[in-house]
Amino acid sequence: MTSLVAFIHDSPDDAEEFLLASPALGLFTPKVEVGDVVTAGTVIGHLEVLHRRTPIRLPAGTPALRVTELLEPRRGAPVAYRQPLMRVQVGPARAVASNNNGKHGLDLPADAIAIQAPTDGQFFHSMNPDEEAYVVEGDTIRLGATIGSIEVMKFFYDVNFDSPIADPAAAYRIVKIVAANATPLRSGDPVAYVVPVAHLPH
């Protein structure tokens, strides 16, 4: 799905700190909290422009960063182009995921990639309760693979492994599925995490 890419600036106050800034004018709603660790491809919030809500992601190559301050913590706060949204510092290689039971810290490899919900809706592991799940933890997949379905107003859409930072020629193994069956998700919420097969310990 279409997304915006956040700007990353050096902080004028601290050499070890960075600012994540808005890529456009609009109404900003954060999707992270102070203490969360974010990295390349992570959705840090949504920007509403002309009544259209678009996720804001971190650019490819972004290292693990820890959120130290939300400069615009309010939901739907008006922000300007390149306005700082939050302060971050280089953090530990730990990813943060959320599901309908709240937010949980997950110990994941530094190169783990989140597969995210493409839209708001209810996530299902299979199209039918009597059918096997599309995937389970430990499965090996490639870009484009279907890992679940999401229901929006009685219509079902595939949830595919689609990431701008994944290598199309590589195989990836599912190391964690964080979205339970029949879970309501928001656009950009993590569904599962994968790592390159070549980087897994034998």
Domain borders along the chain are 4-90, 108-199
The pLDDT tens digits for 61-103 are 677 788 899 998 888 999 999 999 999 987 543 333 333 223 3
The widest CA-to-CA distance across the chain, in whole angstroms, is: 57
Among 1.10.3720.10, 1.10.760.10, 3.20.20.70, 2.40.50.100, name the CATH number for the domain at 108-199.
2.40.50.100
> Whole-angstrom Cα distance, residue 112 to residue 79?
31
Question: How much is the pLDDT for 91?
Answer: 56
pLDDT digits (tens, 9 = 90+) for 177-198: 999 999 888 777 889 999 998 6
31 neighbors 45 (Cβ within 8 angstroms): yes
* pLDDT tens-digit series, residues 139-174: 999 999 999 998 888 888 889 998 777 888 899 999
- The answer to pTM > 0.85 is no
According to the CATH classification, is domain 4-90 in 3.30.70.3450?
no
Rounded to 5 degrees, φ, ψ at 198 are -65, -20
The number of beta carbons lying within 10 Å of the beta carbon of residue 197 is 13
Cα-flanking dihedrals φ and ψ of residue 75, to 5°?
-75, 130
φ, ψ (nearest 5 deg) of residue 39: -150, -170
Cβ atoms < 10 Å from Cβ of 81: 11
> Is the fold of 4-90 the same as that of 108-199?
yes
Residue 75, number of CB atoms within 10 A of its CB = 11
Question: Tell me: the pLDDT tens digits for 16-35?
Answer: 788 999 989 999 999 988 88
The pLDDT assigned to 198 comes to 66
Contacts of 87 (CB under 8 A, 6+ apart): 11, 17, 18, 19, 20, 67, 68, 69, 71
